[in-house]
Structure 1
Amino acid sequence: MSARLLPLLLLLGSNVFMTFAWYGHLKYRSSPLALAIVASWGIAFFEYTLMVPANRLGSTIYSVVQLKTLQEILTLVVFAGFSTWYLGQPLKWNHYAAFALIVGAAFLMFYE
Structure 2
Amino acid sequence: MAGTRWNVETCFQTGKTIGLDEPQVRRWVSWYRHVTLVMLAHAILTVIAARERERHTDQILIPLTFNEIRRLFTRMITNTIHSLDHWLHWSTWRRRHQARAKTSHYRRRGQLIHQSTST
TM-score range, shorter chain: 0.3 to 0.5
TM-score of the pair, normalised by structure 2 = 0.31
TM-score (norm 1): 0.33
- Higher relative CO (Cα under 8 Å, sequence separation at least 6) belongs to 1
